[in-house]
């Protein structure tokens, strides 16, 4: 089968990161074809795609049909479940979706001659981190929850397929939005720090805040960590910088690059207090005073990526800082699309 060198299959393209990647792919001249079961995604998030087919990555017949129809030269694989806490309560759900279905997906693609795959991996594959130095790709991988393990298993399987070149992008904390393209994060539940700070500060509708458990106000967990200001330091990157990294990884593979793994992060990290300060300034809310709670068990002091390899090999550099993440997230969270989506998801969850 003659493949179309512009067509890229995007699994999970109706989700947060996948939809932004589709936007950047299109701008870069590719023809992104989204497949998504919509188990957690949103139909509106697929409108930037060249085509959308609803279906499950674990359905080999469906994946084959889409490959026959569009003849993609490569795939970006985002489809997965993403909640660490839920994975601890329901490990089988995570191993089924993130590992077993990913295996079916990768094997089916290989059978159709799709030999270039970029995989959304995660910092969770590294497991417990006690050191504060930035994490390199050669650090041992010892996941401590089923989410991280299921993603690592999928990574390992992908690497083992003969004739397929792949890039696993291990990313840390992702934030921000592209409101001008009508895109942003609409997770339900929402466990990520930046939306949980931003939504109350922009006075999001009460029904949205209470559906997301934000009515009690934002709290900092732990102010006695051995970090520059006592609060935990994490690595945040803007979703558009991340999308850009995916396109760079894709080009790397299409130009003959070999299978590899890259960490993606800012390299510096931001403390919770720095995020709070940035939110105060960016959103002009000097009155914002978060509460303080004790540390949560198992939360490391510092978790930041060493992205030197991605800089050297993919020439990737994150360009958008934390103010941009907060500002773009705020604009997105004010949109009726976001509000309607959360209220609909809350109604479904309670019915």
Binding site for ligand NAD (CB under 6 A): 11-12, 14-18, 36-41, 56-58, 78-80, 82, 97, 101, 120, 122, 151, 171, 173-174, 187
Closer by beta carbon to ligand NAD, 14 or else 280: 14
Q: Is 147 a catalytic residue?
A: yes
- Set 16, 94, 126, 147: catalytic member: 147
Q: Specify the residue, 53 or 311, whose C-beta has the smaller distance to ligand NAD.
A: 53
**Rounded CA separation 85/79 (Å):** 18
State the Cα–Cα distance between residues 173 and 298, nearest whole angstrom: 17
Q: Least CB distance from residue 24 to ligand NAD, whole Å?
A: 14
Structure tokens at 42: 């949103």
Residue by residue, DSSP assigns 117-185 as EEEEEEGGGGB-----SPBPTTS--B-SSHHHHHHHHHHHHHHHSTT-EEEEEEE-EEE--BGGGTB--
- Shortest distance (Å) from residue 115 CB to ligand NAD: 21
Residue whose CB is less far from ligand NAD, 8 or 80: 80
Instruction: Provide the minimum distance between the beta carbon of 287 and ligand NAD in the complex, in angstroms, as a whole number.
Output: 29
Residue whose Cβ sits closest to ligand NAD:
15
User: Toward ligand NAD, which CB reaches closer, 169 or 280?
Assistant: 169
- Minimum distance from residue 101 beta carbon to ligand NAD (Å): 5
Shortest Å, Cβ 16 to ligand NAD: 4
> How far apart are the C-alpha atoms of 132 and 135, rounded to whole Å?
8
Q: Which of 135/280 has CB closer to ligand NAD? A: 135
List C-alpha distances in Å: 247 to 66, 73, 106, 122, 163: 21, 14, 19, 17, 21
| Sign of the torsion formed by the C-alpha atoms of 324, 11, 88 and 126 | negative
- Give the closest residue to 324 by CA, choosing from 236, 249, 250, 258: 236
Active site residues: 147
């Amino acid at each position: 089968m003659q493949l179309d060198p512009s067509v890229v299959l995007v699994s999970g393209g109706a989700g947060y990161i996948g939809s932004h990647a589709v936007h950047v792919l299109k701008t870069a001249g590719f023809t992104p074809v989204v497949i998504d079961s919509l188990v957690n995604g949103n139909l509106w998030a697929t409108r930037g795609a060249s085509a959308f087919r609803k279906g499950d990555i674990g359905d080999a017949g469906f994946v084959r049909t889409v490959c026959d129809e569009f003849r993609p030269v490569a795939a970006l694989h985002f489809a997965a479940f993403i909640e660490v806490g839920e994975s601890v309560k329901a490990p089988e759900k995570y191993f089924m979706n993130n590992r077993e279905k990913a295996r079916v997906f990768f094997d089916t693609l290989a059978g159709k001659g799709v030999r270039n795959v970029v995989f959304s991996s995660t910092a969770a594959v590294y497991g417990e981190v006690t050191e504060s130095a930035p994490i390199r790709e050669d650090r041992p991988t010892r996941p401590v929850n089923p989410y991280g393990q299921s993603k690592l298993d999928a990574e390992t399987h992908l690497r083992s397929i003969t004739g397929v070149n792949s890039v696993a992008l291990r990313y840390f904390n992702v934030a921000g939005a592209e409101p001008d393209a009508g895109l942003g994060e609409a997770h339900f539940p929402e466990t990520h720090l930046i939306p949980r700070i931003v939504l109350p500060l922009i006075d999001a509708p009460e029904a949205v805040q209470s559906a997301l458990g934000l009515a009690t106000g934002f709290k900092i967990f732990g102010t006695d960590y051995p970090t520059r200001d006592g609060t935990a330091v994490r690595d945040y990157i803007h979703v558009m910088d991340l999308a850009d990294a995916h396109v760079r990884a894709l080009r790397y593979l299409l130009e003959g690059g070999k299978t590899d793994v890259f960490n993606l992060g800012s390299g510096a990290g931001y403390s919770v207090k720095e995020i709070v300060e940035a939110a105060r300034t960016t959103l002009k809310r000097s009155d914002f005073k978060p509460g303080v709670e004790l540390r949560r068990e198992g939360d490391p002091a510092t978790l930041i990526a060493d992205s030197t390899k991605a800089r050297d090999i993919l020439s990737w550099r994150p360009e958008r800082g934390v103010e941009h993440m907060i500002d773009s997230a705020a604009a997105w969270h004010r949109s009726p699309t976001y509000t309607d989506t959360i209220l609909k998801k809350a109604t479904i969850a309670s019915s």
